[in-house]
Amino acid sequence: MKAATKFIHAGAHPDPSTGAIMTPVYQTSTYVQEAPGVNKGFEYARSQNPTRKALEEALAVIENGKFGLAFSSGVAATDAVIKLLAPGDEVVCANDMYGGTYRLFTKVFERFGIVFKYVDTTDVKNVAAAVTEKTKLVWLETPTNPLMNVTDIAAVAAITRSKNILLAVDNTFASPALQNPLDLGADIVMHSVTKYLGGHSDVIQGALIMNDADLREKLYFIQKSCGAVPGPMDCFLVLRGIKTLGVRMKAHCENGARIAHWLRNHPKVGKVYWPGFEDHPGYAVAKKQMKGFGGMISFELKNDSVEEAKRVLSSTHLFSLAESLGGVESLINHPASMTHASIPREERIKNGLSDSLIRLSVGIEDADDLIEDLAKAIG
């Protein structure tokens, strides 16, 4: 089945009692049992919910996986993966990543004795060099947030498989429409479903997708035991969002390409970070493992002025100044003070994230209108 068809039909089964084509919102906390321990597959809504079950099936299908698990947020999904580990275990991860992930790793899990090693994963030799006998997990983002670095998932998977190490990939920026890490050897795919999968800036949710049944049982145990599950209405909204993922991502990619090239030719714009440029260091890898280059772009002004960057950030009208990404509407963001403020400044600067960096989530509006908006703001 082709991807466009999967997005429409994944997890969708007509309601057996009414024939409703959309999965109902099962707004219930518990389920009546015929006798103690005898039920219809549902006992308590933290453990199971029919709307969530339909979504989890859909998540698995669109990522070419066997099992999906939905969580209350992307961070909650990441939290569940790290809870597979024990004190003393080591995690190798990218030195450019979402600030909330970095905060979770450094401020929460380091206190429990888990060691995180941050390396430039765009060179797989750095990953191999960081792995020890204590390494139990490699955590990747590709493309990364916000510098759009690209890592060869298959090359890293070759390292992790040979050493029996789990490989988890945050696939939020690409979405299943553009990249499928399980096909490239990853063990776990994580999504901030809030972003492209939901697609309409109206839900907070996360997801994990995997192929291994034993791994699924371990993660499901964490899901039901720790309780970071989404409500049925949120699951319904994401099921609806997934149906338009294919057409939305096509528009995001087309608009992203237009704006990335326009920015690069603007006399006041300096470096533009977008993996679709042929001279991007990760272009060849991105072209190999992605079906498109997406609508996420970061850039710096040529004068590298923080004050001027803040003026631009506050001067757009169609690009709304806000955290998050992946919705149908365009957003503009200042990573240093917003999404990545939890990363110490010295770490941000060392990894190439300047105080003047501007991040765009290019929506699906008319590209000419978006370019006009940016042109007026940049001046």
Q: What are the residue numbers of the active site?
A: 46, 98, 170, 195
| Strand blocks (E) in 36-145 | 67-71, 90-94, 115-119, 135-141
Give which of 25, 30, 28 is closest to 44, Cα–Cα.
30
Query: Cα(263)–Cα(208) distance, rounded to whole angstroms?
Result: 35
Helix (H), strand (E) counts: the chain: 13, 12
Categorise residue 186: left if φ over 0, alpha if ψ from -120 to 50, beta otherwise. beta
Report CA-CA distances (Å) from 41 to 22, 210, 217, 351. 20, 22, 16, 49
- Spatial separation of the C-alpha atoms in residues 328 and 344, rounded to whole Å: 31
Of 158, 156, 191, nearest to 174 by C-alpha is 191
